[in-house]
Structure 1
Amino acid sequence: MKKLFLLLLLPLQLFAQKFTPAEIAAYQAQAKKVNIIRDKWGIPHVYGKTDADAVFGLLYAQCEDDFKRVELNYIEKLGRMAEVNGESAIFNDLQIRLLFDSTEAKADYAKAQPSFKKLLDAYAAGINYYLYKNPKVKPALLTRFKPWFPLMWTDGSIGAINTSDLTIEELKKFYTGDHSPTAYVPVIKDQHSGSNGFAFAPSMTESGNSILYINPHTTFYFRPEVQMHSEEGLNAYGAVTWGQFFVYQGFNEHLGWMHTSNNVDIADMYAEKITKTDKGLFYEYDKKKLPVTQKKINISYLEGTSLKTKTFTTYFTNNGPVMAMREGKWISLKAKNRNAQSLVQSWIRTKAKSFEEYQKAMDLKANASNNTVYADAQGNIAFWHGNFIPIRDTKYNWSDVVDGTTSATAWKGLHNVKDMVHVYNPANGWLQNCNSTPFSSAGKNSPIKANYPSYMAPDGENFRGVAAVKLLSRPVKYTIEKV
């Protein structure tokens, strides 16, 4: 058994990382409440007295395994990659800064519920304690982690940024004043590989228990396998994305959850009508002229051994940041890539004890990048296609640029979970999703496409989905081995 104790050895450690004696004393107190046991495969089983203690230990263990990956994920989400990789990363950082507002993240931290704020504090403390204890580890950039950092990355998927089909190249051309035409190159998505999730009801298994098959993507550089346990009801096992404090997909004693990515339309492009007067820039909305919001964004970048800075004047309308110019019109983006509720949802689902409690987590309607395949110890199986889905007027083609000058194209709130594409306990006894259409998720018992707006599930079928339906339709009683 391994215990995290504070060793007050060299003053150099304190000086190197600049942690105060009070901070180190707090780390010491929390470390005494944490046990990390690594099994024969090196998987960390983290035991804490409280949920926050378990988070503290989890982040410490992640840093032991791959601090560089933990740090890199946050450098990216903070929009600071150019400070490490140089000028080539400037516009990737600009995109992040336009979509992820650190001021808003800090405000979300300040108003977080006390119990949740403890988790955020423990996240930062666990990493900072690791840095204090390991002075030979030299961060590429982040020498101190802040508790609001997780609120810049509120989804468990690494590539969860959604810009519709607006590109970095378009962003670069717009903010460098290059308005020459750009040929559109459609993105061809890989349909041969991805995530695969399967759930089997008791009627389909030899044991009479439900089975959940999780494809966790636990390659070493993507997600590690962990267990988190506390005396406050936490006991989750599964895959955690480097640097995050919750089990992204996995199980507890009562139920399990698995995620696949989808093509649900959650980000929209708006063509703005801009006019310039002696009083500044204005955009048209419902026949009124409103001032374009301008915001200075400074991007630091590495050149040689020194940092330089480029300043961009960026533009926002009520729809969102201006990200491109197409056919002579400014194109803004409406999306919610950063959502504090998504982080809350990601945590509370790990502690759900029943189908009803898991549904309450889904009712937060904050998961913007995932489908969910579910099974529990009571024999329930379920599938949800997406979760954060804005309500929109169906007469518009939301896969294309829409008119930004009218409230007719505004989002009208979010769809309730009961109105989203979902399947609960289908008669066939199995569910599948392979980054594919939800309209084959339960074979003949799948949802009917005509009953839903096209923006809710534009996903097509793929070879993995076709093969899954064919295999699962056979009259077989499954075991873990057969799955």
Structure 2
Amino acid sequence: MVWLKRGAIALVGVLVLAFVVLATWEPFAASAAPAAPTRTYTAEIIRDEWGVPHITGKTDADTAFGVAIAHAEDDFFTLQDVVAMARGRYGAVAGEDGAKVDYVYHLIDARGTAEREYPKLPADTRALFEAYAAGLNQYAEAHPGEVKLANLFPVSGLDVAAGFALRQPFFFGLDGVIGPLVAGEELRREHGPDIPGFPRPPLPGGEPAAEAAPKQARARVLPLGEDAEHLGSNAFAVAPKKGGGVTTLISNSHQPLRGGVAWYELVVESGEGWHFAGANFPGSPFPFLGHNEHLGWTNTVNTPDMIDVYQLELDETGTRYKLDGQWRDLESKWVTLPVKLGPVVLPVRKEVLRSAHGPVIRNAKGAFAIRYGGIGQLQQLDAYYRLNKAKTFAEWEGQLSRLAIPSTNFIYADAGGTIAYVYNAAIPNRPTSVKADWRSVLPGNRSDLIWDGAVAYETLPRIVNPASGWLYNSNNTPFTAAGAGSDLDPQAFAPIMGIELKQTNRSWRAYKLLSEASLLDRRALEAIKYDTGYERQGYVARLFDALAGLKAQGKLAEARDLLLAWDFNADGKGRADALALLIIRDFMAADYNNKPFPDVAEKLGAAADHLTTHFGRLDPPMGDLLRLRQGELDLPLDGGSDTLRASTTWDVAEDGRLSLKHGDSFIMWIEWAPGARVSSRSVQPFGAASTRPASPHYTDQMQLFVDHKLKPVHFWRDDLLANASSRRTVTNSGTKAR
């Protein structure tokens, strides 16, 4: 039996060796680290009483270096996730969900795009990214105990750029196309008439219009953009004539409260004229929205038809596709996806395909190629940087007109009183001379259907200084933006562009309240921004019509009657607010994503069961149900899914409470008053140090957020120094406190 014992020992040895290999292979297989930069950077980081960093450098690059240091001090945990995504290694951190991101990273060739396009960027833009990478490397080197994935650092500017290339298409729904294709599901075709021709969208108060955008399934599967099932942001601009002499811009983006697309507030300044207050996402050296001395802007997600899908005709080998009568080889590359499973990381091999159209996904129904607006482009890195430093509307719009930023609405205001709305989108320049149903899956064997580039900027919806004196967007059609007499005519825009016609409840409410106001001063705008009402329009009307006709008994009938007596206001004061909060979200999600209307009795029963199980009643105060939670702080919230005061999605805790995870996030209120320099106020849901429980700024803004209050933004240096809580200089070689 000696041989059996020896065999068992050998088997144990093999298993131990296999475990060691699986636990350690991934960092060694990662791409070689770039050479460390030789340039020395120096920045000053001053934090105000709320811990918000004001980063100053002699050059813009020095400031970008400081941005990375400051952000890492507050949230190095999330920054590492973003870096892992940018290097195709997120699966080694987040397991299967991370591996899905890594697959898309390879599928859309994010690294290849960065390698081709990053060297083409202007030298000063690249200098910004190299400096930001140096800041990340400096922090990682100084804090090795915080690094959660070996060989993740150092990173280069190209790595940071690859992260932009990965995220870029997801804000207009690419993941909602990739997901169904990978799963072999049908792409859900959105509501709307066939092209050509589509109806005018009604003004709020009429029946909701159908969608015109094509074939886009919006059930997103990746943590890269706004939660598409509960998409939301609000933006408002008011001209002096309507605002009592004050120009106002309100940024009210709805992002996840935590993670890779949660807002981080900062102020940047340099000796080269860069001075901007606002917020960015982890992995960016500059703010994406906010203001400088002269002007400001904010964004909301729009959903034009930016994506076309082609079904390829393959030969019997499945390795070639036909195009214009000729067989072409599918480009094929095998990649290894790391998938963390407990203490080990499994290597999963995956084939990535590409055709002349773009990325290719093969499933049981065939092979499908995807082409989308901004494919293979990376100029947005330069455009955002230039927008930060623009001084006039003409200069600012000149950057937008490049269509380097593939999508998102822009709402603008400036010190001179100009306000503007631009439906920014690099909509594919589809040929009108060919016959095709662009709203369906296209034949992949015709090269005349493979468009190149975007439509002209001049063809996009755009409003400057409307007669109404106000502009808004709440993820609705651009054809309701400025009020009766100032709105654009949808018939003036080509249907082939696929501009959405959808309204949201936030749009119904904003349009009504803005139109009714004789003066939009601070008090009036605060009432609109924090409005918690619902209009009985669209999916809300359909839901309550169904409730009115619902035959029920017992608890279900009691719940129905409670809702039918509701005042359509999620302010937390009504008996039915908690029940309405629970039931409305699913109907909103179905409407947003063009899914079948949910079963009203089923949803009502589930909501009633939840409340009686956890609260012992159908009518608990809504603030007992909906909570803002971080660390030891647990506060009640108001608002609902698709209200202007947005409490959109949540996690359900063991105690039955709903912990907000997506909704009102970073809010910024900017004003240019006569004879005064620009001033602004802001708030975050938690605090500046979003993943540092030991920091005094982990939860210090929560009560402000709950109470509908804002804190000052110390944009000007004299104001900042009067309110500074810390001040130090950071360089490549260390930190010096002052």
TM-score range, shorter chain: 0.7 to 0.9
Matched, 1:118 2:160: no
**Separation in 1 of the partners of 2:469 and 2:242?**
6
User: Which of 154-163 and 389-398 deviates more?
Assistant: 154-163
The equivalent residue for 1:160 is 171
Contact 2:168–2:406 (CA<8 Å) still a contact in 1? Answer: no
**Cα distance in 1, alignment partners of residues 172 and 218 from structure 2:** 15
- Looking at structure 2, the residues matched to 70 and 159 of structure 1 have their Cα atoms a distance apart, in angstroms, of 19
Distance in 2 (alpha carbons) for counterparts of 1:245 and 1:24: 17
The answer to whether the 8 A contact 2:412-2:421 is kept is yes
Note if contact 1:209-1:377 (Cα within 8 Å) is conserved in structure 2: no
Deviations 1:147-192 (A, max 9, x none): 1122223378795374274243642x5xxxxxxx646676468687
Map of 2:316 onto structure 1: 276
Q: Write the mapping of 1:66-105 to structure 2, written as runs, cut at 5 A.
A: 66-87=75-96, 89-105=98-114
Question: How far apart, CA to CA, are the structure 2 residues paired with 1:385 and 1:164?
Answer: 22
Cα gap change, 1:250 to 1:397, in 2 (>3 Å): farther
CA distance in 2, matches of 1:340, 1:393: 24
Q: 2:155 aligned to 140, 145, 167, which one?
A: 145
Query: Residue deviations 1:281-308, cap 9 Å, x none?
Result: 3212222222221122222223443433
1:5 maps to none
Comparing 470-479 and 429-438, the one that deviates more: 470-479
Aligned residues: 447
Q: Contact 1:108 / 1:151 at 8 angstroms: preserved in 2?
A: no
In 2: Cα distance, 1:24 partner to 1:271 partner: 46
1:232 equivalent to 2:272? Answer: yes
Shift of 1:223: 0.9
Structure 1 residues 332, 190: CA separation in 2 closer, same or farther (over 3 Å shift)? closer
**C-alpha separation in 1, matches of 2:352 and 2:238:** 50
Of 236, 248, 251, the residue aligned with 1:211 is 248
Distance 1:93 1:87, change over 3 A: same
> For residues 119 and 125 of structure 1, what CA distance do their matches in structure 2 show?
10
1:245-260 alignment runs, 5 A limit: 245-260=285-300
Where do 5+ consecutive residues of structure 2 fail to align? 1-32, 189-216, 220-226, 526-738
Q: Which runs of 5+ in 1 are unaligned?
A: 1-19, 174-180
CA offset at residue 412 of structure 1? 4.3
Look up the SS of the partner of 1:253 in the other structure.
Answer: coil
SS in structure 2 at match of 1:275: coil
In structure 2, distance between residues paired with 1:467 and 1:182: 35
| Structure 2 equivalent of residue 401 of structure 1 | 441
Q: Deviations over 1:45-73 (max 9, x none)?
A: 11111111111111110000000111112
Which residue among 502, 513, 520 is the counterpart of 1:471? 513
Name the CA distance, whole Å, in 2 between partners of 1:330 and 1:183: 13
Counterpart amino acid of 1:145? V
2:429 is aligned with 1:419: no
**Which has the larger displacement, 399-408 or 238-247?**
399-408
- Find out whether 1:57 has 2:66 as its counterpart: yes
1:354 matched to 2:365? The reply is: no
Contact 2:95 2:341 in 1 (8 A): yes
Deviation of the 1:24 alpha carbon: 8.7
Residue among 359, 371, 375 paired with 1:334: 371
> CA-to-partner distance for each residue in 1:75-117, whole Å, 9 max, x for gaps?
2343322112334543332122111331331333334322122
The aligned amino acid for 2:148 is P
Q: Is the 8 A contact 1:166 1:324 kept in 2?
A: no
Alignment partner, residue 406 of structure 2:
368
Displacement of 1:205 after TM fit?
A: 1.3
> Which of 328, 343, 346 pairs up with 1:290?
328
Q: Residues 40-51 of structure 1: matches in 2 within 5 Å?
A: 40-51=49-60
SS of 1:477 mapped into structure 2: coil
- Is 248-257 or 404-413 further displaced after alignment? 404-413
One of 217, 234, 257 as aligned partner of 1:196:
234
In the TM superposition, what is the alpha-carbon distance from 1:474 to its structure 2 partner? 2.1
User: For the Cα contact (< 8 Å) 1:270–1:401, is it kept in 2?
Assistant: yes
Structure 2 CA distance for aligned equivalents of residues 402 and 164 of structure 1: 19
Distance 1:64 1:89, change over 3 A: closer
SS in 2 for 1:298: strand
Q: Is the 8 A contact 2:299 2:411 kept in 1?
A: yes
Q: Distance in 2 between matches of 1:331 and 1:314?
A: 12
SS in 2 for 1:54: helix
In 1, distance between residues paired with 2:340 and 2:68?
28
Shift of 1:134: 2.4
Matched to 1:315, the amino acid is L
Query: For the residues of structure 2 that align with 1:467 and 1:251, how far apart are their CA atoms?
Result: 26
* Letter paired with 1:92: V
Counterpart-to-counterpart distance in 2, 1:453 and 1:74: 40
Contact 2:172-2:306 within 8 A present in 1 as well: no
* Structure 2 SS opposite 1:367: coil
Distance 1:389 1:88 in 2: 30
Partner of 1:243 in structure 2? 283
Seen in structure 2, the aligned counterparts of structure 1 residues 339 and 153 have a Cα distance that, compared at 3 Å, is farther
Over 3 Å counting, the alpha-carbon distance change for 1:440 and 1:183 in structure 2 is closer
Match of 2:493 among 434, 439, 452: 452
Does residue 127 of the first structure (1) align with residue 157 of the second (2)? no
The answer for the alignment partner of 1:441 in structure 2 is: 481
Measured in 2, the distance between the counterparts of 1:187 and 1:121 equals: 35
CA contact (8 A) 2:107 2:353 kept: no
- Aligned residues with identical type, % of pairs: 29
| Partner deviation per Cα, 1:426-449 (whole Å, 9 max, x = no partner) | 111111100110010112211211
Kindly tell me: are residues 459 and 239 of structure 1, through their superposed partners in 2, closer, same or farther at Cα, counting changes over 3 Å? farther
Q: Which amino acid aligns with 2:162?
A: M
On the 8 A contact 1:322/1:333 being kept in 2, the answer is: yes
Q: Do the aligned residues in 1 keep the contact of 2:218 with 2:228 (CA within 8 Å)? A: no
| Normalised TM-score (structure 2) | 0.57
Is 2:113–2:377's contact at 8 Å kept on the other side of the alignment? no
Q: Which residue among 448, 472, 478 is the counterpart of 1:432?
A: 472
* Structure of larger gyration radius: 2
Distance 2:498 2:273 in 1: 35
Structure 1 partner of 2:145: 136
After TM superposition, the score normalised by the length of structure 1 is: 0.85
3-state SS in 1 of match to 2:347: strand
